[in-house]
């Protein structure tokens, strides 16, 4: 008996190789797209965070201004009291 080993033809081998390479390239492109999306999301998150920090700073400034206003109103209230004038204008 003689056995004939039939090797796959060169064209078939090359065709399989090209398909594999094509799949790998497609996979790489998909991964790159996902990575770019992640980078975009990270950048957007950074912007949102910066905006929040700016809002926080402006709120703190507003609180400081309100505190100062309250203090000034107290002083004005004290000054406008008749007893204040009485004490100031009292003869020594």
pLDDT tens readout for residues 37-91? 999 999 999 999 999 999 999 999 999 999 999 999 998 888 887 776 666 666 5
Taking 80 as the threshold, does the pLDDT of residue 25 lie above it? Answer: yes
Q: What is the domain range of residue 67? A: 10-88
Q: How many domains does the chain have?
A: 1
Find the mean pLDDT for residues 4-32: 85
**Residue 4 resides in a domain:** no
Name the one residue in this structure whose structure tokens are 């703190």. Answer: 60
59: in domain:
yes
pTM: 0.51
* Three-state SS at 91: coil
In-domain check, residue 73: yes
- Asked if residue 5 is part of any domain, the answer here is no
Specify if 60 maps to a domain: yes
Residue 3 lies in a domain: no
> Does residue 2 belong to any structural domain of this protein?
no
Whether residue 62 lies inside any domain: the answer is yes
- 26 has a pLDDT exceeding 70: yes
Q: How far apart are CA 36 and CA 57, in angstroms?
A: 32
């Amino acid at each position: 008996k003689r056995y004939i080993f039939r090797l796959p033809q060169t064209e078939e081998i090359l065709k399989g190789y090209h398909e594999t390479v094509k799949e790998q390239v497609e996979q790489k492109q998909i991964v790159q797209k996902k990575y770019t999306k992640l980078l975009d999301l990270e950048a957007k998150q950074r912007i949102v965070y910066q905006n929040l920090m700016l809002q926080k700073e402006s709120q703190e400034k507003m609180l400081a201004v309100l505190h100062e206003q309250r203090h000034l109103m107290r002083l004005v209230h004290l000054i406008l009291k008749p007893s204040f004038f009485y004490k100031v204008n009292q003869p020594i």
